[in-house]
Structure formats: structure tokens, C-alpha cells
Chains A and B, each alone.
Chain A
Amino acid sequence: MKKNLHNSKGFTIVETLVAIAILMISIAGPLTIAQKGLMASVYARDQSVATFLAQDAMEYAKNYRDNQIKSNPSDWLGILANCGLGSGGSDCTVDTTDEGSITAGGSPILYRTDYGYNHDSSGAKSQFSRTLSVSETDEDYQVRVVVEVEWTTGTIHNVVTLENYFFNVTI
């Protein structure tokens, strides 16, 4: 009967700890992989949205330039000339919804409204902010146009930049 006390049925504390450690590693590893994967997909979603927001502003500015060349060829840049050209210029904000407008200065933060993303602060504040800046090149008949869309995920600051050159030419 005494022998039964030495019979090692069940687990010892060491065995249990080892088993728990192995299980922890084998579960925590894949969970971390899954969590990183989800973070990457959130970033992918935001980057897609940011890219199309940047394209949106660029196309609006290009269309504005086209109209300006047709209607007022002597001032082919119009408002775009205030978006950073010369001294005292500041980055512009572009509202492409409804009537649409290009404004020098103003808050770059985009709001989510019924019409889409714009600068109408009655909408829900989005994580994106967008600026359009125009800078001069060596020649006065061409300008460099840069649209930047920035957003922050947690503490990480991200940016999508689009660069294009506008010429004083009608196509």
C-alpha cells in the first residue's frame, strides 16, 4: 500500500509549468501573426483611401487649370498661383464635392459628409488631412503640383504624396 504514494499519477508542478509554457508560446505566436496581419490590412485600407483622395484633388486642380486656360489664358493658374507660389503663399485646400473650390490656407482636415470627403466641419471628422501645394520650376510656363494626404494610425504618421507638373498648354 505504501507503494501507491510513490506512484506518479497526474502531473508534477514542473510538467504543468512546461506544458503551460509550450501552450502559451504556441497560441501567442499565431495570435501575434494574426494581429500584425489585421494591422497591415487596416493600413492597406487607409492607404487606398488616401491614394484616391490625393488623385481626387489632383484631377480637380487639373480640370481647374484646363478651364482657366480656356476662359482666361493670361492667368492660366488662377487661384492655383496662391497655393505656395511666390512669397507669402500657403498650401491650398481642395473641396471637390458639390460646387467645388480651391482655397488658399484653411484647415487641411477632411470631414466625412453625405457627399464624401470635404472640409465642411459639420460632417464627421476623418483621420485624413489633405493639402495641395504649387511650386515654381525653372520655367514660368510650368509648375510643380504636389498633393499630400496624411493620416495617423495610433502613433504612426503616414503620408501619400502625388507629384505632377502642369504646363500652360491646352490638350
Chain B
Amino acid sequence: MMKNPLKSNKGYTLLFAVLVSSVVLSIGISILTISKKEFLLSASAKDSTSAFYAADTGIECAAYYDSNSSKFSTTTDDSSPFNCADYDIEREVTMTGTTYDPYVFSFQMPLGSSGVCAVVTVEKYYDDVDIERTKIISRGYNIGWDESDCDESSPRRVERALQLIY
């Protein structure tokens, strides 16, 4: 008896099983992929919010000491440490300008012990009409505080910055 191999029904069960398994597997993997993206997105919303409030604390810290002390003065050099968020900060003078060049001060601070930190620069300059202006730029990070610096890199690190000019 001649049997046509193309018309044989053998192997149908295997084909069907592979088909069903691959459909179910691809549904599972696609749900996991979407969920993973959602998870990362929601984690970044959380990280970004804590980075934002780190930046906010940095801004308020600089603005407070600018209006209540001479830590960021262009005429008096007061380099004594000051306290923000229970941390003693020593500001650095990163640029000493002459009369019309900007003075730039900077400092870094942690918020609590979770690694949240902020990098703040305070710039004093003269605007077009010769009025002294202050520009505070505060960059907040959700993680990255390492002993005395806010620069430890991590793939989860998020930066939020605020700028204040007055």
C-alpha cells in the first residue's frame, strides 16, 4: 500500500501543542513587558518627586542663608559652616568675579540618610541695569549621597532642578 506522506495526520497533536504553548507564552511575555514598563514609570514618578523636594529644600536653604547671613555675600567672606537639614554645610567659592563678573558659590547637601541629596549653586551678578541679582540653581537627586558628595552614579538616579532669580 502506498502512503502519501503529505496526507498523513501524524504529528498534528504536536503541532497543535506547540501552537497553543507559543500563543500562551507570547501573551504572558507581552503582559510582563507592559507591566515592567508601567512599574519603571511609576518608580520614576516616585523617584522624580523625591528629587524635586530635594531641589526645593536646596533652594530654600540657599535663599534663607542669602537673606539672613552673609554666606553668599560679594563683600564679606563668611565661610563658616551653616546648617541645613541637620547637615553642616561648607560652601565653596567656585568663581570670584571682579565688579561685573559673577560670584559663584556652591554647596552639596543630603536630606536624611536615604541618599537623597541636592547640589546648589548661588550666583551673584549685575543685570543690564546694574542691579545686583541672585540666581540660585538647585539640582535634586533621589539617590547618590556618598559621604560628602552628591555624585554617586546609578542607573536609577533622577535629577530635578529648580532655578530662582531675584
Contact = CB atoms under 8 A, between A and B. Distances in A.
Interface of B is mostly: helix
B42 A30 contact: no
Interface of B: 13, 17, 20-21, 24-29, 31-36, 38-39, 41-43, 45-46, 49-50, 53, 56-57, 59-61, 63-64, 67-68, 83-86, 111-112, 114, 116, 164
A37 B35 contact: yes
Contact of B49 (A22, A37, A54, A168): A54
A38 B17 contact: no
Interface of A is mostly: helix
Given A34-B28, A51-B42, A27 B20 contact: yes
Contact of B46 (A47, A164, A165): A47
A169 B67 contact: yes
A153 interface: no
Given A36-B32, A37-B31, A162 B64 contact: no
Interface in A21-36: 22-23, 26-27, 29-34, 36
Interface residues of A, number: 43
Interface centre among A22, A32, A167 (most CB of B within 10 A): A167
B161 to A, nearest CB: 16
